[in-house]
Chains A and B, each alone.
Chain A
């Protein structure tokens, strides 16, 4: 193994996160060490983006407790630290989900992030792939104690491709770093300060750069969304497919969000942490505006096949890849007992027009499929 070889060559740091010990290279952050462990041990990160230099430390959702600084200096750190910006030391002991303090602080951050969030998920294009949704589902409470008017902003038009919903923004600064590091001229930034800080161009201006579309991919919430996809479909109805084309500007390696033969949306390929993946050649996988906004036909692309989607994700719903028909009969499953009543809901439902054969519908069923026949 390549990693074992490295361990011989270089001194590795031992770091223990939630009682799991991993060996990591010096200079690794706690968050990256935790990502190597994976699973629940990994703190959530809303603002940190490994591909963007200088990002992180702002959202405070990745706070962890350092119970012992290192073998040399085993004192605990007095405050919770941002795991995305704190590098490990040899013999460091980190507590994430095993620390009450961390869980309390994280729940607090989630509550604070949501007090001014409009919670308009039902009409938000990001719903289904929103990091804030995941975060509040995992760490939030069902109610809110906030009884005031949520903050609003004067809408800004960022041009024909990018839709800005400032009310949904959590001010992670990722889009600012993206524009700084990917384009040669940043046109948008943070105006004002405190809870009235906002993402905007100083004087109403369109974001115009051939790589600026990537701000949509880095946005953890629905603040920056694709105007060409706006209100077209829900992400869980579309099916992500890996595809590529020969693009003169970028790598051309993208993900198509398709329904049937129609391409609804084009995004960069993302890894399990929701970050833009490197290309197969190992270069950053940012894609250009041309690929993202203009190539909306299957003919433009060479489709490689369906993207592997985490089966816990809502996006995996309705995609019947590798489905298995159960071999057992119902009495077998129920330990010999026959079910009392079995009903075909479709057959008895007036709403869903029982005369329609479900098996004839291609892909997931949609309300259009059950529209009453026009008289």
Chain B
């Protein structure tokens, strides 16, 4: 049985309202932090907790906070990145929709730690109904003295503003988000300077994911050291995983990062196995941009060790035989799924979402999509597979922001692990339109429940 820190109270009747949330122990961390701790002490607790950014990159949050420049007389800002656009990821939506006060509470404590008097939640446009939920939560918190001027008599002022995006994937990249927040075209900025030095309106800014900021609440409540005891190694605390695809129980699960991938997929507590007696073919373990893994490399690492649901274990073997924890968008593909079609769908997404600012990503994503479409529709050539490999190499690492990498990795991993399926598509243009390639040698051993 795993520990639940974020979603423990998510389904308490009426938890969206301030009164119920407060009755269930909410806003204790605000009281603790503002009344008994200094801002630096809060940052220190977050550092001790080993909390890593939950948006995808997994950068230690406490360290990120300590990079924040603090020049005299310049306001600083905290921005909550709620532009959750990664295909397969929907954990932040769940958190904001069911337990909005947890985010607000985390934001107040974090704003206090960073000295942000104006804090922003940048939320994607497609989450049309959530800003209302958040704004109501903010209003309630304000009415009860947890926001506004002189919070709880501590002398700390803070306001939280909700800003809606217009639904661009690129605005989840922190500098593009800042541009968009400022009302400009959402193009990523060229770094350096980093947001910690020049962010919103050229002021020092920290941009954190919704889940990261929510996790600050249990960290303050239980103490950083206690929090760090949950989980394993550098993967501390709990992580929300949004599981989808061919599983019996898609949804958002809070895990404590000690369970194995196999347990996560097949146990009834989590995904509940694959429906209709089908077998596992592949998995994208961290949102669409992380490398896809075939079943045989997913459950066990290349060294034959059990793979666990945490940052290190999922990345074991690098990109050659591993993947990434990413944002926790766990996508399962069963034996009936076509990897070529899947890769084409992802390539189409990245082509559509590329901001068009830098040339490798702008031109390369479109080219990859066209080639993949040809292969998928039975018009591909054998040389196209090598060409795809070459194009993704030219994009990866050469772009302004990580969108280029995010577009290149899925294509690279699909070719790396499923090259025979691509070749089969090229060699059997007609047959590939009527049936799927199936499992081939990369399938898992048939799962026998213990």
Contacts and interface: CB of A to CB of B under 8 A. Distances in A.
B358 A60 contact: yes
B365 interface: yes
Interface in B168-221: 168, 170, 185, 190
Contacts of A105: 394, 398
A44 interface: no
Interface stretch (B94-102, B116-124, B322-330, B346-354): B346-354
A37 interface: no
A309 interface: no
B386 to A, nearest CB: 10
B358 A195 contact: no
Interface string B389-417: 00101100111100000000000000000
Given A56-B190, A59-B358, A171-B362, A112 B352 contact: no
A34 interface: no
Nearest to A197: B356
A193 B360 contact: no
A37 B399 CA distance: 26
Given A112-B367, A194-B356, A57 B400 contact: yes
B107 to A, nearest CB: 30
A76 interface: no
B359 A85 contact: no
B354 A195 contact: yes
Interface residues of A, number: 34
A80 interface: yes
Given A59-B359, A109-B359, A193 B354 contact: yes
A63 interface: yes
A82 B404 CA distance: 15
A242 interface: no
Interface string A137-178: 000000001101001000000000000000000110100000
Contact of A109 (B185, B360, B366, B393): B360
Nearest to B170: A193
B364 interface: yes
Interface string A111-125: 111011000000000
B98 to A, nearest CB: 33
Contacts of A146: 367
A108 B360 contact: yes
A349 B367 CA distance: 48
A79 interface: yes
A259 interface: no
A63 B367 CA distance: 22
A108 B394 contact: yes
A369 B358 CA distance: 47
A82 B357 CA distance: 14
Contacts of B352: 194
Contacts of A190: 185, 356
B126 interface: no
B359 A113 contact: yes
B363 interface: yes
A105 B397 CA distance: 10
A227 interface: no
B398 A58 contact: no
A194 B366 contact: yes
A201 B170 CA distance: 23
A189 B187 CA distance: 13
B187 to A, nearest CB: 8
A116 B352 CA distance: 16
A57 B360 CA distance: 12
B387 interface: yes
A151 B362 CA distance: 12
Given A59-B359, A193-B356, A194-B356, A108 B190 contact: no
Given A173-B357, A195-B354, 15 more contacts: A56-B190, A57-B358, A59-B358, A109-B398, A111-B394, A112-B362, A145-B387, A148-B370, A171-B356, A190-B185, A194-B351, A194-B354, A194-B362, A195-B365, A195-B366
28 contacts: A56-B190, A59-B359, A63-B398, A79-B398, A85-B190, A105-B398, A108-B394, A108-B398, A109-B394, A112-B360, A112-B362, A112-B363, A112-B367, A112-B394, A145-B387, A146-B367, A148-B367, A171-B359, A189-B185, A190-B185, A193-B355, A194-B362, A194-B366, A195-B351, A195-B365, A195-B366, A197-B355, A197-B362
The 9 lowest CB-CB distance pairs between A and B, nearest first, are A108-B394, A197-B356, A57-B190, A112-B363, A194-B354, A195-B366, A194-B356, A193-B356, A148-B370
Interface of A: 56-61, 63, 79-80, 82, 85, 105, 108-109, 111-113, 115-116, 145-146, 148, 151, 170-171, 173, 189-190, 192-197
